[in-house]
Amino acid sequence: MRPILPGCLDRGLSALLAVPPGARAGLAARIAFEARAADAWRKRHGRAHPLWGDGSLMAAALRYPRAPLPPSLGPEARAALRQLLDALDGDFGL
């Protein structure tokens, strides 16, 4: 996966906040998987993946609806951000 920048985390968090809390861990894992797979595709083919983008977390998260970011990171947003970070720490075999 390409380097994770603050905007990547913002966009990933915004995608997670757009779904019910019970669906967030699955979506976080999916976004992380897609970013890793797209990066592998980019390295192999020399261009961005047709669906998942250039291998950045931002590009993978852009495919999903987004909710506005809260003005501060309250408990719900912190929990969603933790799920995203946990998914990024996961190993998907790529």
Retrieve residue 53's tokens: 């983008």
pLDDT for residue 92: 53
Sign (positive or negative) of CA dihedral 67, 14, 22, 63: positive
How large is the average pLDDT for residues 2-30?
96
9 has pLDDT over 90: yes
Q: How far apart are the C-alpha atoms of 94 and 88, rounded to whole Å?
A: 12
With 0.85 as the threshold, say if the pTM is over it. Answer: yes
Beta bridge partners of 49: 53
90 has pLDDT over 90: no
Tell me the residue type at 94.
L
94 has pLDDT over 80: no
Helices (H), the chain: 6-17, 24-45, 57-61, 75-89
How large is the average pLDDT for residues 25-48?
96
